[in-house]
Every structure is written in C-alpha cells, then in structure tokens.
Amino acid sequence: KRSTSPEQAQTHKKKLVELCVIFRCPKGHNSEMQLLNEDNTGSSALLHRIKRGWVWNQFFVLEEYTGLEPLYIGKLHSDMDKGDGSIKYILTGEGAGTTFTIDDSTGDIHAIQRLDREVKAQYVLRAQARNRLTDRPLEPESEFIVKIQDINDNEPRFLDGPYQATVPEMSKIGTSVIQLTATDADDPTYGNSARVVYSILEGQPYFSVDAKTGMVRVSLADMDRETRENYTVVIQAKDMGGQLGGLAGTTTVNITLSDVNDNPPMFDQRLYQMSVPESVPVGSVVGRIWAKDRDTGVNAEMKYSIIDGDGRDTFDISTDPTNLFGIITVKKPLNFENKPSYTLKVEGANTHLDLAFHHRGPFKDVTIVHVSVEDVDEPPVFDLPAYYIELPEDTEIGTVMKTVSARDPDAANHTVRYSIERSSDPEKYFYIEITSGSLMTVRLLDREEVGWHNITVLAMEMNNPTQISSVSVAVKVLDVNDNPPSLTDYLEAYVCDNAKAGQLIQTVTAVDPDEPLGGQHFYYSLAPEAANNPNFTLRDNQGTLVLSYDWGITHDQTSG
C-alpha cells in the first residue's frame, strides 16, 4: 500500500474485491420467490421457490482515501443478471446517495466522500435487484455492512497535559511521581496502530518513564530541593509499538520537589549585640534573632528558649507569628545604675522533626545575646513613697515638722531642690526649705478649722528642671484643750406656784469643740449671784445640768 500510487492501489483493491468479497450462502440456507409475469387472461402468477442467486454480507474499505476518483468499494451481482441491462440495482441505507453510490446497471459501489473510521466505523446498507422494465423485485432486499478499515492516521494524545506533579526531595530511585496515559483514536484491535510505547525526551537523568505503563519515576537518588526545586520533563508516546514510522505525541510534566526537614537550623550570628533604655516598661521588645533554616513551611518553624545567662530572670523570648523569629522582651524593670548589661544564651530548635532524617541533626542551634542597658536621665526619687505627720494644733510657727529626702538616681547624682505644689496648700500653712527638704509651719494650726492637710512636695533636679517627681505628705492636726465649754447665753424657765419641792424645772447642757468626740465631763456650779438662793438646787446628771425647785429648803441645805 505504501509503495504504490493511490491509483494502483485502487486497481488492485477492485480486483481483490471482485475475486474475494462476493460469495454465496450455503445451499438451502436462503431462498427467494421469483415473480412470473401474468398471462393475457389475467390469471394469477404462480410463485415458485428458486435458489437464491446473490448474497452479500460485508465489504471492507480503507479509511482516508485521498484519490481524485471515487473509491471503489465492491460489486453487487445477481446470477439472474445476463448482462443485457435488464436488471436494475438499488442501494439504500446509511450514506446511500451521499457517501456511497451504485451503478444501477453494473452493481459497482463507490464511495464519493472521504471516509474516517474514527468518525464512523461502519455503514449498514441494503441492496435490491429489480426488473428495469417492470420494477418488480428479482431478489429480496438484503442487508450488508461496509466496514471502514483502520489505518494509522492518529497520533497518541495526552488529553490532560501539560501536567503538574510533586515528589518529596531526597526520594529513593523508583519512587512514583505521576501516571501518564496517552490515548490513540486508531483501532486498538487491528494491528499496532494504537499500541503505545512511552519514552522520555527531556528530564534525564533525574526522571524516567515506564515504556508500557507511562508511570514517571525518580531515577536519581538524593535530589535536593534546596539545590534545585523545579524540573521540566518531556514524555513521548509513540504508536506502532514504537517502531519506525509510528506516529508520536508529546507532553510536558512540570515536577516540583516538595520540602522535607533535612536541614538543621543555624543562627546567622554567633553573637548578637542589643541595647535597651532602662526606662522601657515591662513587655517592651529588645530585639529579634533568627535561626535560619534552608527548609520551608512547617519544616522551618522554630521554638526559642533562654537556656542560660545572667538575664534569664530579666528577659523573656517568644516566637513571632510566622514561627521563624525569636523576639526578646523585657520581663522585669531595668536599672542602669544597678546592672548595666546582661548575657543570654539562646537556643532555637525545629518544632517538626522527620525521623527519616534524624541522622542529619541535631535540628537546633545556640547563640549568645548581649543586652546593654542604656542610662536614662531619671527624675529624683523620694526615700518614701508617701509621708505621714502628726502635729499638735498649738505648734509654734516655724516649727520643723518633717524633713523629706529625694535623690537623683542617675550616676551623675545631681543636686535636688524642693518646693510645695501651691494648689495642695492654697492657704499657705507650710513652707519647705529649698535645699534641705525641711517642712515647717508658717501659720497657726487649728484642728477645729482644718483637721487634715494633704500637701504635695516636689523634687526637681537642679541641672534639668524637666526632671521632677512628687510625693504626698499627709499632716494630721492633733487636738489640744484650747476651747472652753459654752452654754446657751439665755434660757427662760417657768415654775408653777403649786410646784412641789424637788421638781425639775430646766436642763442645761454645755458643748466643747475639743476632743474627745464623745464630749468632756463638765463640772457645773451656780453663778455667784445665784449661789445663795435657797429655792433652787443644781445637780450634775452625768454631764448635764439639772435645775430643780426646792421651796422651803433652808440655805444651808442647798448643794452647789
């Protein structure tokens, strides 16, 4: 077929069809009724059973014929055909008249359209022989099949390509990566047109493909993602069992090596130098460290801890939200004057270990962090957080009641000056000596007017007036008995003329603003001008004056 021209192939095929395709059925298997012409009297024709003269089963024709002339398919012939043109051959069924035509005189069948097995593999047709003059059937209608015979006109195809695949790095030789399947539209039951063989055109020596199954596998051991991550592999599928002349199709497989934890972390510095002001609050960030890991994702995640050093109790370390960096923070207040520097020994370790690569460990590393505390100009600090003073209300003006003390906590130890915040002592009862911090009174105190004084003392660095601190001083004024009892200036009492002796006619109470709060015990007596009056008696009723009428009692019996 490949060594001859289309015209020569057509001639050879026609001869083969005439010799081999037309055949008879076994004797007695089929029969047909021959119709006899009616006689002139109109009598009914007699039907006689005769041996079938023609039978067809199927024809074969190669697809994809490209010649200029119609493609000869085969010949229909009846034994009743004497060659005089009296028989007319008729073709019906799939493609009759459009794809296939028949010469109604000779019975030659031709294809007038290009046939493609992959579009339609066979056609079912029906044929009949009729008398050309009477159009009476000479043969019963018979069915036959035209089968389209395959040629290798379709290359294998990878329908889902290009492909993406992933395989862990460091995989062993023979590890499966991806299964590829190429499809060939040719007839798999005829010859080798659809028998596919796979081969690798690009991607050696890293990967290989199974010639029969299309399975792509690792062919090089210990491929390292950190050295090379992506590979492009070109796979070919060739039909005809891979023989010369077969058709081929290719596809691309993009293979990515996925990460495994095969690299231990390592700090990018053996010694970190950091500094932090002494005034920062607890929780402030000092700095960040990083134990680098060539792996990615969870295989590079770290956990940090302070394992030694004199700053273990002063600083803390945590992992940032990315689980990669260590964040050092202040755990306790800092004081440059007490301790100006700290040393931390920090460990960083992987959190997700792969036992298959445990021999590459240990998967942790250690570094040293040196933290310097920076001196900050701090305000003066009082020796007490607050002061409490008790002072009698009769204290003389100018009395030093307390000396407060504040100092500059910095190494410079600047001189401190004192003052009273005026809003806390608006009446100016007190004064503080500017250099010594001695508090003294400048006005007389009166407990009955103001029992407590809450003043605020300020301490300021002489060289830096912006550095000011304050402290609260509570002054309690103590009571002294400096107030006489007081009575109501005028009271008016009435007594009936028939009042009996000893009858209560008035109660009088004295008050004193001095302590105690429950009141003092007062001693009462009649004024001198009433002391000799024999008609009234004065009696102390637990600190209350009771005046009673005592008519008829002599002066000598009157109590005072």
Are residues 59 and 21 in contact, defined by beta-carbon separation less than 8 angstroms?
yes
Helix (H) or strand (E) holding 32: strand 31-34
The reported pLDDT for the residue numbered 548 is: 60
CATH 2.40.50.140 is held by the domain 58-149: no
The reported pLDDT for the residue numbered 541 is: 67
Enumerate the domain spans of the chain. Answer: 58-149, 157-258, 266-374, 381-478, 484-559
Domain boundaries 381-478, corresponding CATH code: 2.60.40.60
Are residues 437 and 418 in contact, defined by beta-carbon separation less than 8 angstroms?
yes
* 556: confidence class by pLDDT, cuts 50, 70, 90: very low
The reported pLDDT for the residue numbered 367 is: 97
DSSP 48-116: EEEE------EEEEES----SSPEEEEE---TT--SSS-EEEEEEETTBTTTEEE-TTT-EEEE-S---
Q: What is the mean pLDDT of the chain?
A: 83
The pLDDT tens digits for 488-520 are 777 888 888 777 777 787 788 778 777 775 556
The reported pLDDT for the residue numbered 45 is: 37
The 3-state DSSP composition of the chain as helix, strand, coil percent (nearest 5) reads 5, 40, 55
Within 8 A by CB and 6+ apart from 458, the residues are: 418, 419, 420, 421, 468, 469, 470
Same fold, 157-258 and 381-478: yes
Question: Which of these ranges, 55-64, 459-468, 528-537, has the smallest mean pLDDT?
Answer: 55-64
DSSP code for 13? H
The reported pLDDT for the residue numbered 554 is: 34
The pLDDT tens digits for 321-372 are 999 999 999 999 999 989 999 999 999 999 999 888 988 879 999 999 999 9
Rounded Cα gap, residues 544 and 546, in angstroms? 6
266-374, CATH topology level: Immunoglobulin-like (2.60.40)
pTM: 0.56
The answer, yes or no, to whether residue 553 has pLDDT greater than 50, is no
The pLDDT tens digits for 269-287 are 999 999 999 999 999 999 9
Domain boundaries 157-258, corresponding CATH code: 2.60.40.60
pLDDT mean over 168-179: 96
Question: Which of these ranges, 110-114, 210-214, 366-370, has the smallest mean pLDDT?
Answer: 110-114
The reported pLDDT for the residue numbered 2 is: 41
Angle at 49 between CA 48 and CA 53, to 5 degrees: 120
Closest CA to 123 of 147, 152, 153: 147
